[in-house]
Amino acid sequence: MSVPTAWLVTGAHGQLGRELAALLAGRQDDELTALARDRLDLADEAGVRSVVRDWLAGARAAGRRAVVVNAAAYTAVDAAETDEDTATVVNGHAPGWLAQELAGAGRLVHVSTDYVFDGAATEPYPVDAPLAPRSAYGRSKAAGERAVAAAGGDVTVVRTAWVYGRYGANFVRTMAGRAAAGAPVSVVEDQVGSPTWAADLAAGLVTVGERTDPVPPLLHRTDAGAVSWFGVARAVYEELGADPALVSPTTTEHFPRPAPRPAYSVLDSSAWLAAGLPAPRPWRDALSLALRDLPTG
């Protein structure tokens, strides 16, 4: 039997936040508050604490469980190299403020990233692998993980990777646009990870949030399997009926970026499965479904 729940989704205008809001809207007996930056600015500590306190008071008054899904983040990976202070506040400090306000009062599901690892592995990273971020963005997200752990309470950090979806700028949308135009592309073959459809990730996060029994404090959730960015691009072309030969492989050194990219971003999902959570679908199956109505560009 489901328990009436008050949901607070941060980052409501992002690609993940919009999927979460769509999934949670209209659920019987539940109440959704989906806030974008204009109503919940994670760089404003006083504002964050005030909004969460008011929302918690409303949840209590309505007799609902309180669950926050923190889908907001400073995600400009390259910009963070010269703006690490801001990234650290949003990604590092703000999750701790949320966790502190929720401690003893509700559950926090906090989204983290493969960038907290060094990308030098050759096998999927388990949840207890040492953190070794190589970028400002990765350092800020690692700080967020430490902050929520220090706050205590009912918190689950869910790391993910290579997220794409209907909304915002992402690799799959870009490749879909190039495929639709029949344009050639050159894509790195020496970065490997697990493409993750935002709709699948959102469904997994909601499952974590709605569980009334304890959930492990650290989990990995991507779609299943591993592939290079080159392989993803070819798959997009194939799915859309474009010639996959238009996609040519290259290496990271030919596309220098301010922030280093992990060469290997595959996350071990054993803890997720051991917790009795739904098994992720294969990445190629998810991609096929996503491309049916994915806007291009």
| Dist. CA 147–CA 71, nearest whole Å | 16
Among the listed residues 9, 86, 3, the one whose alpha carbon sits nearest the alpha carbon of residue 44: 86
Which tokens is 246 given? 């238009």
**C-alpha torsion sign, points 72, 31, 200, 185:** negative
| Contact indicator for 73, 98 with CB cutoff of 8 Å | no
Among the listed residues 147, 112, 119, 149, the one whose alpha carbon sits nearest the alpha carbon of residue 133: 119
Which tokens is 141 given? 């997200």
Residue 221, C-beta contacts closer than 8 angstroms, at least 6 positions apart = 158, 159, 160, 196, 201, 204, 205, 267, 269, 272, 277, 280
Active-site position among 125, 137, 237, 264: 137
137 is catalytic: yes
CB atoms within 10 A of CB 254: 8
| Contact indicator for 47, 55 with CB cutoff of 8 Å | no
Query: Could you list the active site residues?
Result: 137
